[in-house]
Amino acid sequence: MPYLVLVLAAAIAGVWAISALFKLHSHRELDRLTQRYRQLTFQSPKMADEALRLQIIRLKNLAPGRSEKWYLERVIRELESGRLHNLNEVKK
C-alpha cells in the first residue's frame, strides 16, 4: 500500500513538473512574439502593446477560440506581409 502511494505521488509530481515546464515555455514564446511585434512596428513599447491588443481583439472577433500564440503569429504575419499598417500611417 505505501508503495502505491509513493508511485501515485511521483506520477502526480511528474505531471505537475511537465505542466510547469510547458507553461514556462509557452510564456517565453509569447514574450518572444510580442517582442518581435514591437520590433516590426518601430513604436514605443506602450504604443506597440496597445496596437497589438487592438489587433488581437479584432482577430478574436473574426476567429474566436484560437490560442494566444496563434493570434500573435497571425498579427505578425499580417504586419510582415504589409496587410497591417503602422498606427502612425493610419492617422494620416
- Using CA atoms, how far apart are residues 41 and 19, in angstroms rounded to an integer? 33
pLDDT tens profile 66-86: 999 999 999 999 998 886 554
Per-residue buried b or exposed e for 53-71, using 16+ beta carbons within 10 Å of the residue's own CB: eebbeebeeeeeeeeeeeb
- Using CA atoms, how far apart are residues 52 and 71, in angstroms rounded to an integer? 10
pLDDT tens profile 5-37: 666 666 676 666 566 555 555 789 999 999 999
Query: Is this structure's pTM higher than 0.85?
Result: no
For residue 74, CA distances in Å to 3, 5, 13, 34 come to 49, 46, 35, 12
